[in-house]
Structure 1
């Protein structure tokens, strides 16, 4: 009888633990959501997406002013350029150039954009000769939207992806891996019905 009593007691404890442990685990994950990485994206999603409009971008030079309509209906790799574009900034722009080349047949669906915050910035020769790089001056409203993406001033060398509807929807920290961006872009282009 004593042996049966122990078995019943163990069974009750096991059933109780089986009902409590999942709730405890769920409570722990709810209190610590940073532990679980949801999704397969490499970049950080911008939630909610920052909506932009065409009038918030004005061409920095004649080439860009004439081709600014190219942003509509395309996926755009946006490189914010601070007052002085140092090595991290130039590296980010070089990576976006290589990224577009790596995209193969999808290259026609992607545009590159350097957003310059200083009207007096002297463009390097490689930017002036780049026929695929658009340069834009942001309107004050766009500058505010870009500043909201980071708690501190925009870091030099970051990358932002803008969808064909003009939503800033994903960002990458300076020093990003172009292969990770390519992976995200491939997914976005595969499921996109627009752009």
Structure 2
């Protein structure tokens, strides 16, 4: 008696092309949803002109400069950490020596007030003072800005990362870093704090990151 051979297929089942297309569309949609907040913020400043044609007050940094891997020391905890680990919030940065002259004090004051004036959005913003020497900070300044994180940093390495404008120096500016860790803006020397606040408020409004 002859034996009937089983003609059924073996191996993996065939993949439905329509199902593949749906899966690809879902992955693309997920990517778009995740990237949308950051993309919206950059489109707001690099492509579209907000408020009837007015541009940003701060100078946009092109090309992007990510947070460097240089090691800094936290004055409060004494711990060292790479600057690249600070991403996740909007960072307002001032860099000065510990002596902190009048311009330095003004920047610290402006950053504190600009952050406070963001209302409920202020938790998305962190103020940083990058101290470029090992000297002690005067007690009066130390006690006046308890919410400003103070980090000790090598001045040469910092100067290689932070740009300047028109013959100015790093200590003349307030800088803004986005939550993805990219240096985004540099505000001019003797900047108008109300205009810095306006720029930051727009970014917080149009971006869900941070």
TM surpasses 0.5:
yes
Contact kept, 8 Å, 2:168 with 2:189, in 1: the verdict is no
* 2:108 and 2:145 in contact (8 A); partners too: no
Extract unaligned runs of 5+ from structure 2. 1-52
> Equivalents in 1 of 2:84, 2:170: separation in Å?
27
Q: What RMSD in Å do the two structures reach over aligned CA positions?
A: 2.8
Relative to structure 2, which stretch is displaced further, 86-95 or 154-163? Answer: 154-163
Q: Distance in 1 between matches of 2:84 and 2:143?
A: 19
Aligned to 2:75: 61
TM-score by length of 1: 0.68
**2-side partners of 1:47 and 1:69: how far apart?**
19
Map of 1:169 onto structure 2:
184
Is residue 76–residue 150 contact of structure 2 (8 Å, CA) maintained in 1? Answer: no
Residues 1:106 and 2:121 are matched in the alignment:
yes
Task: Measure, in 2, the Cα distance between the counterparts of 1:136 and 1:64.
Answer: 9
Q: Distance in 2 between matches of 1:91 and 1:157?
A: 11
- How many residue pairs match? The answer is 156
1:166–1:124 CA distance, 2 compared to 1 (3 A)? farther
Q: Is there any run of 5+ residues in structure 1 with no aligned partner, and where?
A: 1-37
**Closer/same/farther in 2, CA of residues 102 and 57 from structure 1, 3 Å limit:** farther
- Would the aligned equivalents of 2:165 and 2:188 in 1 still touch at CA under 8 Å? no
Distance 1:180 1:133, change over 3 A: same
Q: Distance in 1 between matches of 2:120 and 2:60?
A: 25
Instruction: Give 1:191 shift.
Output: 1.6
CA separation of 1:136 and 1:57: change in aligned 2, threshold 3 A: farther
